[in-house]
């Protein structure tokens, strides 16, 4: 044990804090063991500023700069669990890479991940981070998620990590028949998490409850 470890029990990599968080997630209904394993394996402190890293295993969203946040563990776990209920689930598109934590979790679970970020400096940072941490398979792009990633469609799953007022139709068009899109939808303070399933030309929707995400904004920001 290093001197630093002894002096600072709130070190970033705190296995005990992580176990507490996993226990809390189980209590909140996360039953998929693969999802829990992924949250245990993909260390959230690697995706946060070093100044906040000691808080990484709290069940809260935290700032990552540029007015954005790393999502709350409970919500990442829940969305991942809902996504994995659908089979086959191999190729997924995420809108709103942010810190890259959600993308890394999906990558760890063996999915082929395509993820889009609209804020250029966040995109540069997350690209380097994912590569440094060894998530080489995940493909990142600087772009406007409202356009999706047409060259890679269709996707088995699409997940929005930022909330639009309405899901753009472009994204439904990039979902395979039988695929699911999970998104927080609505204005700040009144967002609902929704699951949309494409069945032929029809879209079936389920409401999964109230959530709080940053808004999904148009265009790329330099
Ligand atoms: N899952 C991420 C969430 C980051 S917050 C994490 O845990 O870190 C949501 C991100 O969505 C922000 O970085 C924001 O810039 C991005 N975003 C918002 N609107 C977008 C759009 N139209 N296209 C791509 N990214 C968008």
Residue by residue, pLDDT tens for the chain (222 residues) are 444 444 444 567 789 999 999 999 999 999 999 999 999 999 999 999 999 999 999 999 999 999 999 999 999 999 999 999 999 999 999 999 999 999 999 999 999 999 999 999 999 999 999 999 999 999 999 999 999 999 999 999 999 999 999 999 999 999 999 999 999 999 999 999 999 999 998 999 999 999 999 999 999 999
Q: What share of the chain is helix, strand, coil (3-state, %, to 5)?
A: 35, 30, 35
pLDDT (tens digit per residue) in 26-45: 999 999 999 999 999 999 99
Q: pTM score > 0.85 for this model?
A: yes
On whether the CB atoms of residues 119 and 161 are closer than 8 A, the answer is no
Atom in ligand 1 nearest the alpha carbon of residue 94: 1
186 pocket-lining for ligand 1 (C-beta < 6 Å) = no
Q: What pLDDT is attached to residue 57?
A: 97
Residue 1's pLDDT is what? 41
- Residue whose entry in the numeric block shows the structure tokens 């804090």: 17
Of 82, 85, 109, 106, nearest to 94 by C-alpha is 106
Q: Using the atom order of ligand 1, give the atom closest to the CA of residue 96.
A: 11
Query: Which is it for strands 68-70 and 91-95: parallel, antiparallel or unpaired?
Result: unpaired
Ligand 1 pocket member 101 (CB < 6 A)? yes
pLDDT given for residue 42 in this prediction: 97
Calpha distance 28→50 (Å, rounded): 28
Q: Please tell me the residue having the least CA distance from ligand 1 atom 22.
A: 145
Q: Specify whether the CB–CB gap between 89 and 113 falls below 8 A.
A: no
Helix ranges restricted to H, the chain: 3-7, 15-27, 33-41, 73-84, 101-108, 120-132, 169-173
Q: What is the pLDDT of residues 141-154, one digit of tens each?
A: 999 999 999 999 99
Centre of ligand 1 to C-alpha 7, Å, is: 36
CATH number of the 61-211 domain = 3.40.50.150
Task: Please name the residue whose Cα sits nearest to atom 4 of ligand 1.
Answer: 98
Query: What percent of the chain shows pLDDT beyond 70?
Result: 95
Taking the C-alpha atoms of residue 171 and residue 160, their distance in angstroms, rounded to an integer, is: 10
Regarding the beta carbon of 38 and ligand 1, being less than 6 Å apart is answered no
Annotated catalytic residues are: 71
pLDDT of residue 10: 54
Whether the CB of 80 sits within 6 Å of ligand 1 = no
Every domain of the chain and the residues it spans: 61-211
Q: pLDDT tens across 155-183, in order?
A: 999 999 999 999 999 999 999 999 999 99
C-alpha span between 43 and 216 (Å, rounded): 26
CB 116 within 8 A of CB 149: yes
Closest by Cα among 176, 174, 171 to 194:
171
């Amino acid at each position: 044990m290093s001197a630093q470890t002894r002096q600072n029990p709130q070190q970033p990599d705190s296995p005990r804090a992580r176990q507490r968080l996993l226990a809390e997630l189980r209590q909140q209904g996360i039953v998929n063991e693969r999802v829990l394993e992924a949250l245990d394996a993909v260390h959230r402190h690697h995706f946060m500023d070093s100044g906040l890293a000691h808080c990484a295993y709290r069940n809260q969203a935290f700032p990552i700069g540029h007015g954005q946040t790393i999502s709350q563990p409970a919500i990442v776990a829940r969305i991942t669990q809902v996504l994995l209920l659908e089979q086959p689930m191999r190729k997924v598109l995420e809108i709103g890479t942010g810190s890259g934590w959600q993308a890394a979790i999906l990558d760890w679970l063996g999915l082929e991940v395509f993820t889009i970020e609209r804020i250029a400096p966040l995109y540069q940072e997350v690209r380097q981070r994912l590569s440094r941490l060894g998530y080489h398979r995940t493909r990142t792009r600087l772009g406007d998620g409202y356009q999706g990633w047409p060259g890679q469609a269709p996707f088995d799953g699409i997940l929005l990590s930022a909330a639009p007022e309405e899901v753009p139709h472009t994204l439904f068009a990039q979902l395979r028949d039988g695929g699911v899109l999970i998104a927080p939808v609505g204005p700040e303070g009144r967002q609902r998490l929704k699951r949309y399933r494409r069945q032929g030309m029809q879209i079936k929707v389920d409401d999964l409850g109230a959530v709080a995400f940053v808004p999904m904004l148009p265009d790329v920001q330099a």
